[in-house]
Amino acid sequence: MTDFPESELAAAAQQAFDLCAGTPGLVVGVAKGADTWFGSYGHADSDTSMTPNTHLRIGSVTKSFTASILLQFVEAGTIGLDDRIATYLPDVDDGLTVRMLATMRSGIADYTADPALVAQIIADPTAPRTSAEVIAAGLAAPRLFAPDAQFAYSNTNYVILGSLLEQVSGTPFATLLGDRVLTPLGLAETWWPGDSSSMPDPFARGYTLVFPGATPETPVDTTGFNPAWAGTAGALVSTAKDMLIFARALGTGALLSAETHAMRIASLAEAPALGPGVDYGIGLMRISGWIGHSGHIPGYRAACYYHPHSDVAVVVLTAGDIVAGNCPDGFASASIPTDAACMSPTARVFDAVSQALGHPSTTPTA
C-alpha cells in the first residue's frame, strides 16, 4: 500500500499519454516518503518497452545540477553570488555578476538563437560543439537588456557558469558532477555525455519535428545527435528512477545547507517569459507550488518537480518532444494538430498526474 492513489495516477497518466500524438513513449515517476510509483507507456524503440530504467536526455534539468554545484562553491566561500563574472572569466564583463547569470537576468543572448550556429548544428548534428564555441556565439549577439533589468531565459548563462566552475576548481565538470551530486545521491544511472552522442543501455530513441525534413508521419530521429552544444545547460542523460531521487533532493535542499537552500528558494521571482504564474530562481522553477525544472533538447523532454507542502516528487521523461493539440498558427515548435489542448507531452502528463495527486499544476504549453 502507498500513501497516494496508484489507480488514479495510472488512469490519469494513460489518458494524458493517449493525447500525446507523436510521442512514442514516456515514463512517469511519483514518490512520497518511502513509497514510489512508476508508469511506463509506449516504446523506447520499435521492439523495446519503456521502463523506469530507460535512459533519456533530460535537457535543461541539467541547469539544476549545475546550479546546485555552484551553490556548494558559494557555501564554501570559493565563489560569491555577487562577484563579477569578469573576476573569473575576463571575456565576460559589462558589470555582470554570478547571480545575474544564475537567475537569468544577465541580458546575454541565448546562443540557440544564433542563426549561424543553428545552421551548423542542423548541417551536422552529430558533430561536437565546444563550450567556448557556444559561449562565443551568445556573447557576440547584442545584449537583450542592461544587467539585472529583467528576465530572459538563456542557455548561454549556464554554459558560462559551467566554465566558471571548471576554472575556479581546476576540475572537469564531469568530475564535479560525480563527486558533488551523483555519488552523494546515489545516481548511478545519470550520465554526463561530454562530447559523445551515445547513451548507456537501455535507452529510448528520441523524435522531433523541428528539424528540416520532419513530418508527423516521419519525424526526425535525434538519438545520435551530439548534445555537447547544450553542455552544462542541457546535456545530461538520466532515468526516471534517478530523476525521482534528484527531484526530492532538489526540492528539499539535500545537497545544500538549510540556509543556502532557503536563499535559493528566496531567489525565485516572476519570469513572465516562461508563462503566466511561473517563477525562476537559481537553477530552479516554481509552477503552482511545484519547484524543480523542465527540460527540452531535440527529441526529448523532461519535467522534474517537488511539492514541498505535500512532500511529493513527480518526474516525467518523454522519448519525443512533439507538441500536439489545437495549437495557434505560427506556433514556435512544430506540432501535430488534434482536438486536445496544445501542450508538450511532459506538460500534459505532469498536469494530469499533479491533478490526480490533489495539487494541480498548469505548466507552460511547451
- As annotated, the active-site residues are 60
The residues, any chain, with a CB within 8 Å of residue 341's CB and separated by 6 or more, are: 325, 326, 348
Determine which helix (DSSP H) or strand (DSSP E) holds 349, and give its type and residue range: helix 345-356
CB atoms within 10 A of CB 99: 18
For 230-279, give the DSSP string.
THHHH--EE-HHHHHHHHHHHHHTTTS-HHHHHHHHHT-EE-GGG-TTEE
Q: Alpha carbon of 92 to those of 69, 89, 158, 213: distances in Å?
A: 20, 6, 13, 37
The residue assigned the cell 507552460 is 364
Neighbours of 218 (CB within 10 A): 10
Kind and range of the H or E run holding 167: helix 155-169
Q: Which residues of 8-17 are buried (b: 16+ CB within 10 A; e: fewer)?
A: ebbebbeebb
Q: How many CA atoms lie within 13 A of 282 on its CB side?
A: 27
DSSP string, 310-325: TTEEEEEEES---EEE
**Count of C-beta atoms within a 10 Å radius of residue 336:** 17
Cell numbers 528520441: residue: 206
